[in-house]
Structures are given as structure tokens and as C-alpha cells.
Amino acid sequence: MNELSAPQRLFRQFIAFFGVGLVAAVTHYGVLVWLVEMEGMPVIPATLVGYVLGGLVSYGLNRVVTFAATRSHTEAGWRFAIVAGVGFFLTWGLMGLFHTRWGVPYILAQVITTGIVLVWSFVAHKYWSFADRH
């Protein structure tokens, strides 16, 4: 069986990360829409609650499915939390910019924000959070 090249492995890993991201996004968006539409919560706090819950889903699935992490939970967990923390503040800032300042509907604003945070988090998790220990 032919072994995959480095670009092919990276592409497959990104596809797995994207798939996990879809599951986490369903969690995030579901919580966001529920809190805004059913509970009357303002958009920014609702999206941040959704982000945290989606992040918990993301950690568990990415650790196993995407990166097959060899780092311990203790070691990978704090790294994941830092990357997720940056993503949290990116989400806060971008949603504030797109939705609050520019008036973009909150779901569209969240889709754009998710795309930006997706790229940041893939690179950071691949090369730092879940990277093999050297």
C-alpha cells in the first residue's frame, strides 16, 4: 500500500478537523440559536456560551480522531485551553465587529467568524496543542 505524502496527510488531517468542527459547530450554533431565540439572551454572550460548549466537543473529538494525540490530557489540555481562549476572544471581537458594529445578521456573522477561527485553531492545535512531544 502506498504511503501518503506529507501534503496528502495534512489535507486528510484538515478534513478530519473540519468534520469534527462541524459537530462542534452544531453544538455551538444550536446553543447560540436556543439562547437567543428561546431564552432572549443577547447575541454576544450566547455565542460565547455556545463556543465553550462546542470547544468541549472539539477537544474530545480532535484529541482522538484528528490528531491521535500522544500528549497527556494534562499537557494537551492546557495548550488546548490557551488556543481555545484566543479563539474565544476572536469570536467575541469578530462578532462584536460584524454583528454589533456592522449590523450583519448574527447567523451570517457567526459563519464568517467560525471560518476565521477555524483556520487559527487548526494551525495552533496541529503544531502546538496536539503536536507530538519531541
- Sequence spans of domains, the chain: 12-129
For 10-69, the pLDDT digits (tens) are 999 999 999 999 999 999 999 999 999 999 999 999 999 999 999 999 999 998 899 888
CA atoms within 13 A on the CB side of 9: 8
Residue among 26, 68, 33 nearest 47 (CA): 33
Q: What is the DSSP string of 2-49?
A: PPPPHHHHHHHHHHHHHHHHHHHHHHHHHHHHIIIIIT---HHHHHHH
Burial letters 113-125, b for 16+ CB under 10 A, else e: bbeebbeebbebb
Taking the whole predicted model, whether its pTM rises above 0.85 is answered as no
Is it the case that residue 3 has pLDDT exceeding 90? Answer: no
pLDDT for res 31: 98
